Amino acid sequence: MSVPQTRKVVALALAAGLGFGVAACSGAKSSSSSSDKVTITVDCMPVEAQKELRADWNADVEAFQKLHPNITIKSVSVGSQCDNPPDFTARLRGGTQTDVFYAYMTDLQQVLDSGQAQDISKYANTETVPTWNSIDAAAKSAFAEGGKTYGIPTKNYSMGLVINKKLFQQAGLDPTKPPKSWAEVRTAATKIAALGNGTYGYADYSAGNTGGWHFTAELFSAGGEMVSSDGKKAAFNTDLGKQTLQNLKDMRFVDKSVGDKQLLGWGDLLTLAGAGKVGMFIGAPDATTAIVTQFNGKYEDWAMGPMPGKDGPAKGTLGGGEGYFFKKGLSAAQVKAGLMWLAYEKLTPGKGQFDYARAKPEKQPVGLPQPLLFTLGSDAQKQENDLKKANANINVADFDPFANNPVPIKLEPAQAQAVYAVLDGAMSAVLTDSNADPGKLLKDAASKVDTILSNG
């Protein structure tokens, strides 16, 4: 999601290949020689429903603490989404976030404005994070401001069209040839919805800031912009913006291909997807992971294509990511301990999120074209590439149309979460009200966004 024009956000190019690989290092140098005991709290531990991922997390904590016996990690689960915007804001305002806390790349402004950010510049280096020099510079910049570093990236994404292979086949469609344009999406969605039984040919978000997030992605695909180049004015109240909303409205009320139940948030849509009721939606590759690990779906049912465009291939796709910030007031020892833990769990090929050898096919996929954290050609990227190829446990070909047809990645808009919240209203209106006027909705939304940007 995003930050204002004075702050930076990652713009990572999609790799054509699907690779990552073997570990050359096991994390930062052991701190067992130090007699100082350090305790840190860290959030985004997998929720109880994610049994295998939670067990892996706990095993990693135990292994890390054996390697660094002077460090104690206290894990906190803050929900399956980790950064649910209202909850995240409440924790920041109340100062109740953990010492090392998960956030979107677009949360930098909010974190800095809250006064809760610790400057970790002098501690973030190859001593604490051995792969530091391999991490993409643009990804790092999303957690930096004014020459100071406040956090580190741990994952990124770009969006495409997620499709249910089983529903495609039942509707007489070829899942190896995903729709390339929104007109083709409409045609395919109508055929899938005709299967009945409450099936959504296409599903979309309209609540919890996710509606505005998807509106942004869909507008970008048509070649539109969300804000002006200087980040001070809304730029979505255009013909392309109106066409984006009108397309969804027509799918809902003319084609009747997006289902009667609307006002869907993140978990709502994925619950339907896990139940086999969604033919298509836009998302990142790891949306399939959530469908399986949290919503009882099956990997073999899902595939991906590139983002569809207005009249053909998309002109752009939304990209973003996540990482961890450090709470202001931590000691130097706590900051170093937090960086060493993140290096072990999130940034070392063969360890933590990159421990592909232990992954179980039914719960943790190996072979998705994500995350692209390391600079292409760097030692860490080559190691990860080899490891991923050696341990792939899904049908990688299901994601070839997405990975092999990269779309230019566009940054999230300034003040992304606030902007997305405003656009939720426009998205929900066209998906619930047959009389909704896209032009008026965008005019009203632009006025509100102008105010937000002017105060940013």
CATH number of domain containing 330: 3.40.190.10
What is the reported pLDDT for 202? 98
Helices 332-346 + 51-67 axis angle, to 10: 130
Q: How large is the average pLDDT for residues 41-53?
A: 92
Token pair in block for residue 285 = 């590759």
In this structure, the answer to whether residues 237 and 364 fall within a common structural domain is no
In this structure, the answer to whether residues 176 and 99 fall within a common structural domain is no
For strands 71-76 and 38-43, give the pairing.
parallel
Would 51 be classed as within a structural domain? yes
CB 434 within 8 A of CB 253: yes
Would 33 be classed as within a structural domain? no
pLDDT digit string, tens, across residues 363-398: 678 999 888 899 989 999 999 989 999 999 999 999
Q: What's the N-to-C CA distance of the chain in angstroms?
A: 15
In this structure, the answer to whether residues 273 and 213 fall within a common structural domain is yes
In this structure, the answer to whether residues 222 and 205 fall within a common structural domain is yes
Return mean pLDDT, the chain.
Answer: 90
Calculate the alpha carbon distances from 393 to 20, 64, 73, 318, 380 in Å.
13, 26, 31, 27, 21
How far is Cα of residue 419 from the mean position of the Cα atoms in its chain?
17
pLDDT band with cut points at 50, 70 and 90 for residue 20? very low
Among 179-188, 334-343, 408-417, which is the least confidently predicted range? 408-417
Q: How large is the average pLDDT for residues 325-334?
A: 97
In this structure, the answer to whether residues 363 and 426 fall within a common structural domain is no
Token pair in block for residue 109 = 């402004």
Would 25 be classed as within a structural domain? no
H or E element in which residue 322 lies: strand 317-326
CB 78 within 8 A of CB 102: yes
pLDDT band with cut points at 50, 70 and 90 for residue 6? very low
Would 8 be classed as within a structural domain? no
Domain extent for 328: 38-158+320-396
Q: How large is the average pLDDT for residues 151-166?
A: 95
pLDDT digit string, tens, across residues 248-289: 999 999 999 999 999 999 999 999 999 999 999 999 998 998
pLDDT digit string, tens, across residues 59-92: 999 999 999 999 999 999 999 889 888 899 999 9
In this structure, the answer to whether residues 193 and 251 fall within a common structural domain is yes
pLDDT band with cut points at 50, 70 and 90 for residue 411? confident
For strands 160-164 and 280-283, give the pairing.
antiparallel
For residue 21, is pLDDT > 70?
no
CB 251 within 8 A of CB 39: no
What is the reported pLDDT for 363? 67
Looking at 396, 421, 446, the residue that finishes a domain is 396
What is the reported pLDDT for 449? 98
Q: How large is the average pLDDT for residues 307-320?
A: 94
In this structure, the answer to whether residues 296 and 204 fall within a common structural domain is yes
Amino acid at 390: A
Would 59 be classed as within a structural domain? yes
pLDDT band with cut points at 50, 70 and 90 for residue 35? low
The CA-CA-CA angle for residues 427, 430, 434, to 5°, reads 165
What is the reported pLDDT for 362? 65
Q: How large is the average pLDDT for residues 335-342?
A: 98
pLDDT band with cut points at 50, 70 and 90 for residue 217? very high
In this structure, the answer to whether residues 273 and 166 fall within a common structural domain is yes
